[in-house]
Structure 1
Amino acid sequence: MKRLMVVSDAWHPQINGVVRTMERTMADLAAFGVESVTLTPADYRTLPCPTYPEIRLSVTRPASVHRAIAKAKVDAVHIATEGPLGILARRFCIATGQRFTTSYHTRFPEYLRARVPVPLKWTYAWMRRFHNAAAGCMIATPSLEADLSARGFLHLMRWDRGVDHVQFNPDRPHVLDLPRPIFGYVGRVSVEKNIEAFLNLDLPGSKVVIGGGPSLDEMRRRFPDTHFLGSKVGDDLANHFASLDAFVFPSLTDTFGNVLLEALASGVPVAAYPVTGPLDVIGRNGPGVLDNDLRAASLAALDISRQRAREFALNFSWEASSRQFYDNVVAALNGDAESRGFHKLAAE
């Protein structure tokens, strides 16, 4: 594979795990001799997503997307999202016999149900049909693989995540001058992130929220004692991570949570629920505390050393993650996924 197209409905100016993961992966692929091109909302006119205006939905026609993919003359297509561009790219690949891969980054059925009363089985049926047409569907954790496999998803491929150990580290400047201990959350401020579970906790010291989203203004009004700092990127984000005493991750729906690794690499122990993502990354005896009582987990996390958190994060690297992605795409293109221990490929 020399040339890859990444199709993603999530792209700048969004700041989320999908965008950051795909950006970093494409940068690493260049070192493997693979040229990456993208098909994203940056290439089209967009409209704001209902109930979530920060997300921009591409407005285009099938012919336009089909021409763009054909013109790119790529060896492989990876569809990162199930949005308008992902749907049209999938249609092109099926029509032309182009084998393609997908990745399952987001528990979209649960996200949708948090906003609209749509039965989960309906949305999962659509998602299953979307991903089962691919030669490989990449997922981040064993628990997500087990869940999706039980729901009828086929040819699942593991794709672990990484973290930049240089950028995120405990020795960065501490930039928060607040009463300690400082409990922090980093991520989208939106209903599906279950952020209220954190904000409602009775905790000593200070609470900090870093990130933007459709619920930000409402949360600021309802929780005036919490410090809402908005979105942070780059070294500024890393400095804020290192300034925390504990990272509280209240989400019940994330498939992984890149921020977990960024907190740990920064020497910050994690408190979370025992669900997909935290269970796989941290486990029961790792550099954090998983408990259905999030307050108890948050307080117990303060007893974990920063060194232990940091040492655990050193087991994850972006280079290994990107190599795994590359190997998955090659295996899917060659049709030898079964020989590499993945589920048997099946045509939809």
Structure 2
Amino acid sequence: MKILIITDAWFPLVNGVVHTLDNTSKELVKRGHEVVVIHPGLTPFRTFSLPTYAEIRLPWNPWRVGGMICKAAPDAIHIATEGTLGIAARLFCGRRGIPYTSSYHTKTPEYIQCRFRWFSLAVGYAFMRWLHKKSSAVLVTTESVKRELDERKLHPNLLVWSRGADFDLFHPDKRTRVKRRPVLAYVGRVSIEKNLEAFLDLPDDHYDKVIVGDGPDLVRLRKEYDLPSISFVGYKHGAELAEAYANADVFVFPSKTDTFGIVMIESNACGTPVAAYPVTGPVDFIVNGVNGYCNPDLQAAVERSLKLDRAKVRGHVVAHYSWQHVTDLFEDALIHIEDLKSRI
């Protein structure tokens, strides 16, 4: 089968959406499928920087996607994002009755409201309902996200599409640190919706903190939290990233707006438990007392997580998450396009 994935998020961006699409695509190829990805970095597109997110670039001529869909002549289409490319692809397919699946990775209305307090969530979700209206199925990250979107009547066919990790790369044997006082780590984008102040405000006399990542709030936070116990180390990849996870005693996930967080799986794979708030994403992933703790008191979640058996933390995540299973879910949801030529 020739599968076309259309996404506004692709390399060189570093985030969960790109990671999920990349690993799913690789697994689909292993299974004998041909995968074509249409993304903003391709030659026909001219892009602009998203306001407040300079690293995210969206096409301002997304209408070119229609011709690219025709040229690709796919057997199935998945529209992964809600940016300009995703909108143009939905309009093209919708007007021609071309079936497609889509996915919901990000609480976009909440992200916008974090930056612009006047923004209405009701308006944001009305727009999201319009975007996904003609999708055959909408893939969502967790059961709690599905319940939340059911309440908002996003779409009548919401399917859970989980996440995975590379268990060979992310492994406890990457731990090299000599035992000192506890080290807490955060990995991800450094931006307002990640609620990083909740992590950075944990008592400095108790822990050392490492922030792995970059983003629009990095300069501000580095200036405000210029302390010996806090290290901003930028993005890490591959073995260096695995080492950062493994050398932490607890991975702290302070976000209250994420729909999942692949970083939690990668951290657990290295034996490091996760401390988080009891919100969508963490509540679906964390089993209190097994692979971390959810608690409205983030410090309490950290302190309890410090006492967990790291071998059992890894054992739990390896048993429940894999990219093979993630790809099964994606593949099962695809809708075969009948007689594409007559539709275009």
Alignment of 1:57-206 (within 5 A): 57-62=58-63, 64-116=64-116, 117-154=118-155, 155-174=157-176, 179-203=180-204, 204-206=206-208
For the residues of structure 2 that align with 1:151 and 1:173, how far apart are their CA atoms?
Answer: 43
For the residues of structure 2 that align with 1:16 and 1:141, how far apart are their CA atoms?
Answer: 17
Cα-to-partner distance string for 1:283-333 (whole Å, 9 max, x where unaligned): 34431011000011111110011111101111211111111111111xx44
TM-score normalized by structure 2? 0.93
The CA deviation at 1:40 is 0.6
For the residues of structure 2 that align with 1:112 and 1:96, how far apart are their CA atoms?
Answer: 31
Cα gap change, 1:173/1:297 in structure 2, threshold over 3 Å: closer, same or farther? closer
SS in 1 for 2:110: helix
* Other-structure match for 1:4: 3
For the residues of structure 1 that align with 2:262 and 2:182, how far apart are their CA atoms?
Answer: 23
For the residues of structure 2 that align with 1:215 and 1:88, how far apart are their CA atoms?
Answer: 30
Question: Does structure 1 retain, via aligned residues, the 8 Å contact 2:125–2:154?
Answer: no
Asked if residue 279 in structure 1 is aligned to residue 283 in structure 2, the reply is yes
SS in 2 for 1:41: coil
* Other-structure match for 1:320: 325
* Other-structure match for 2:24: 25
What is the aligned length? 330
The CA deviation at 1:132 is 2.3
Alignment of 1:150-299 (within 5 A): 150-154=151-155, 155-174=157-176, 179-203=180-204, 204-225=206-227, 226-299=230-303
Q: Which amino acid aligns with 2:327?
A: S
Question: Does structure 1 retain, via aligned residues, the 8 Å contact 2:214–2:235?
Answer: yes
Identity rate, percent: 42
Q: Which amino acid aligns with 1:227?
A: S
The CA deviation at 1:334 is 8.1
Question: Does structure 1 retain, via aligned residues, the 8 Å contact 2:75–2:337?
Answer: no
Q: Which amino acid aligns with 1:293?
A: D
Shifted more, 270-279 versus 151-160: the winner is 151-160
SS in 1 for 2:271: coil
Q: Which runs of 4+ in 1 moved over 3 A?
A: 176-179, 283-286, 332-335
SS in 2 for 1:244: coil
Question: Does structure 2 retain, via aligned residues, the 8 Å contact 1:178–1:206?
Answer: no
The CA deviation at 1:271 is 0.4
Question: Does structure 1 retain, via aligned residues, the 8 Å contact 2:27–2:324?
Answer: yes
**Root-mean-square deviation (Å):** 1.5
Structure 1 spans left out of the alignment, 5+ residues: 336-348
